[in-house]
A and B are shown apart, each in its own frame.
Chain A
Amino acid sequence: MSEQILVTFTLGILITSIAAVEIRNLRTTSIAYLLHSIFLFAIITSYAYLKENDSLYLWAGACFLTKVIIIPAMLFRFVKQVPLQEHRPFIGAGFSIVIVSTLMVSFFQVFKKYIYLLAPTEAAQLEPVRSLLAGAFTIFSLGLWALLTRRDALKTVIGLALLENGVHLVLLALTPQLRETTMIGILTNVVAVVFLLLYLSTSIYQLFGSTDTIKLSELKR
């Protein structure tokens, strides 16, 4: 397996991330997120193979269980209970796709070019870690973008999941020597966070009749 595959997977995860944020139909969005998670799993597995680091396979397994199975299952379950169409975000569909794609491609290039400012070691500045790190920073930024511009509860949760996955990739690129127990701790937290947010969103939907986070204005003073 060449390092090129890892770079390809990185591009794959970027495209599916953008799709998860931009697609308006919530079921398709959840499918895009599932694909994103599969790419994440593929990246960890191929990285484990490339670096001949067996402990990373356990990471990959834990990632598969939590991010490919549990979290998408929770998303699909939530989507069944709420209207399928996303609440209109702050920025219109066409315009948002152009902005987000341009931003992400430029972010990826900028992060890759100036990685020495962000990569703490010289080894981290070499391929394929360089592309992986640039991808991780880009996904983190995309998660932040989703959190800031989306109103729908599901999109907010996906934004948060992207933010976490970005950091997850940074962990993989920079600290693959981290103990498996630590990684399992992090992944358990992520699952619990998504569960809690979706549980609260469902309860809010039952009371407010909406998954629009902007309508959560009871407490605004």
Chain B
Amino acid sequence: MTESIQSVLPVILILLPIAGAIFIALAGMSKLKNSRELLALVVLAVELAVAVKVGITILSGKTLIAVGTALFVDGLSALMILLVNAMVVLITIQSIKYMKREQERGLVSEGRLTLYYALILLFTGTMNWTVTTNHMVMLYVAMEGTTLATALLVAFYRRKASLEAGYKYVLLVVVGITFALFGIVLIFAAAYPHLKVGSHALLLTELGRIAKLIPKNIALLGIAFMTVGFATKAGLVPFHAWLPDAHSEAPSPISALLSGLIIKIGAYALARTVTIFAPTYHSVIVFIAILSSVSMLIGIFMALVQDDLKRMLAFSSVSQISYVFEGLGLGTYLGIYGGLFHLVNHTLIKALLFMSVGAIMYATGGLRKISQLGGLAKKMPITAFCFIVGALAIGGLPPFNGFMSKFTIFLAIGEEKLYGAMAISVVTGVLTLACLVWAAYRVFWRTPQVEVRGNPGELKEVPPLVYASIVILALLCIAIGLFPQMLHPILDSATKAVLAIWAGGG
């Protein structure tokens, strides 16, 4: 059993960005509004430093608890905390120039820009809460908090399409998450007789012990409801209707945040709850394998027919998050490890690709249809390089990071003898590679289309502040592909944390 120590760090991770959000919102009305970007970045940099400190503590074999046992950080939480806080910093760096340009184009007002940074900080706080809460019902509350914090970011441009996307996003995700709450309540109620006297909450860390004690019919009903809810948040088919709209209509850095982080919440919640039941009920493994297989195939077919780059990437996310679900749903060491590995890789790659599209839109004055683009590689070599790295990585081509995680998942599926699911995963991987590389070719190397040819003088590589984040992400994709062992300690710790809960050790 690992040593648990009381710590204030999880509380800081949650409250500091929320306080920052309030401060920025208030400062927006004063002279301080010109410093909002800097303020946001400072808060997020402190958050990242805290996240690194948490990561180091967890890797030394300890777990953190705070507010009694209401907050809990183990290997899985630490992995998510590091990922979330690092990504938010990179996304905010790109936002500074990108959103300034949107303001110059008259798409965003001064006041809304303040709201933008306040909401990013609010999201960071709720996201950190989601991945550190130990209360099962609070997991729902925090998850819904992330949806609410990002809803206005999705509808940010207040155009017909973005308002529609925001409406669909809130409605569908909330309906899905309500199903998850229903499932959580059923499990909680069934578990209650087995909890300590006077318990007011079902702790996620107790779920492993409880999973074997509650009636099968209630457990399966609860799992089905939770899976529907978490799959909606993650955007799996057939619960994905919100995802392509929200991803494509939000500002590009927010698309990176949605695809990189928001949909991962569904996967995290799955790992925390449903995965714990998988070893007890084999039907759960089969159910999730079928759901994931259908989702990954339909997702990539839909991606192949898109002309809008952001919608194409969004449908690709529907497909890729299914790999994560498939791995986590297996409930084995290799499956969970592969699922979490792909969760990390997909976050890096998809944020890279969405922010690259952001760079393209920045340079071309908002063009994002493949049919309108072409020949950008000569003018934008850095963006072109980063995009092709992302395309090859998400396609699962060695030696990029996507190959490593997908291959781990293939092995895990094979280990469970789910050969049908394995075949679908491999075919989807090939289609993904074709889809993304074909898109990259048309955007960067094909003869420039009329829209791009129209302004050759203006077209140039984006400023360093816009490409800095994507270069870092591209380098990370290559580095993790070449040296996958560098992530092993944290992935191993996260996987063992899930298995420890399953074994009842918490």
Contacts and interface: CB of A to CB of B under 8 A. Distances in A.
Contacts of A124: 189
Given A167-B181, A186-B141, A121 B170 contact: no
Nearest to B165: A219
Given A170-B182, A175-B185, A178-B137, A216 B168 contact: yes
Interface in B126-144: 135, 137-138, 140-141, 144
A207 interface: yes
Q: Which of B137, B155, B171: most chain A Cβ within 10 A?
A: B171
Interface string A210-221: 000100101101
A163 to B, nearest CB: 5
Interface string B379-417: 000000000000000000000000000000000000000
B178 A182 contact: no
Contacts of A178: 137, 188, 200-201
B217 to A, nearest CB: 6
A175 B186 CA distance: 9
A167 B137 CA distance: 12
B112 interface: no
Contacts of A193: 144, 148, 170, 174
B456 interface: no
Interface string A186-217: 10010011001100110110011000010010
Interface stretch (B7-15, B156-164, B255-263, B316-324): B156-164
B37 interface: no
B185 A170 contact: yes
A164 B178 contact: yes
A208 B160 contact: yes
A36 B135 CA distance: 30
Interface residues of A, number: 40
B420 interface: no
Interface string A173-191: 0110111001001100100
B171 A120 contact: no
A164 B176 CA distance: 11
Interface in B187-214: 188-190, 192-193, 199-201, 214
A186 B189 contact: no
Contacts of B166: 200
B175 A120 contact: no
Interface in A129-154: 140, 147, 153
B426 interface: no
A201 B167 contact: yes
A63 interface: no
Contact of B144 (A118, A189, A207, A213): A189
Contacts of B217: 117
Contacts of B148: 189, 192-193, 196
A160 interface: yes
Contact of B138 (A182, A192, A216, A218): A182
A175 B65 CA distance: 25
B214 A120 contact: yes
Interface string B216-257: 011001000000000000000000000011001100000000
A218 B188 contact: no
B365 interface: no
A197 B182 CA distance: 21
A31 interface: no
Given A164-B178, A189-B145, A218 B164 contact: yes
Given A200-B167, A203-B158, A219-B164, A175 B144 contact: no
Given A179-B200, A189-B141, A189-B144, A120 B163 contact: no
Contact of A216 (B141, B167, B193, B201): B167
A210 to B, nearest CB: 11
Given A156-B171, A185-B138, A218-B160, A174 B200 contact: no
B175 A160 contact: yes
A3 B188 CA distance: 25
Given A117-B217, A179-B201, A185-B141, A200 B155 contact: yes
A166 to B, nearest CB: 8
A208 B163 CA distance: 10
Given A182-B138, A193-B148, A207 B160 contact: yes
Contacts of B115: none
A171 interface: yes
A206 to B, nearest CB: 9
B249 A204 contact: no
Contacts of B167: 153, 197, 200-201, 204, 213, 216
Contacts of A166: 182
A149 to B, nearest CB: 14
Contacts of A204: 160, 163-164, 167
B272 interface: no
B215 interface: yes
A71 B166 CA distance: 20
A80 B141 CA distance: 31
Interface string A76-120: 000000000000000000000000000000000000000001101
Contacts of A219: 161, 164-165, 168, 244-245, 248-249
Given A120-B218, A182-B201, A197-B171, A174 B163 contact: no
Interface of B: 135, 137-138, 140-141, 144-145, 148, 151-152, 155, 158, 160-161, 163-168, 170-171, 174-175, 178, 181-182, 185-186, 188-190, 192-193, 199-201, 214-215, 217-218, 221, 244-245, 248-249, 306, 311
Interface of A: 117-118, 120-121, 124, 140, 147, 153, 156, 160, 163-164, 166-167, 170-171, 174-175, 177-179, 182, 185-186, 189, 192-193, 196-197, 200-201, 203-204, 207-208, 213, 216, 218-219, 221
29 contacts: A118-B186, A118-B218, A120-B189, A156-B171, A160-B178, A166-B182, A170-B185, A170-B186, A175-B188, A175-B192, A177-B192, A182-B138, A186-B140, A186-B141, A186-B181, A192-B148, A193-B148, A193-B174, A197-B167, A200-B151, A203-B158, A204-B163, A204-B167, A207-B163, A219-B161, A219-B245, A219-B248, A221-B244, A221-B306
Given A120-B186, A120-B190, 7 more contacts: A174-B189, A182-B201, A196-B152, A197-B171, A218-B164, A219-B164, A219-B168
The 6 closest A-B pairs by CB, nearest first: A120-B190, A174-B189, A185-B141, A179-B200, A200-B167, A120-B218
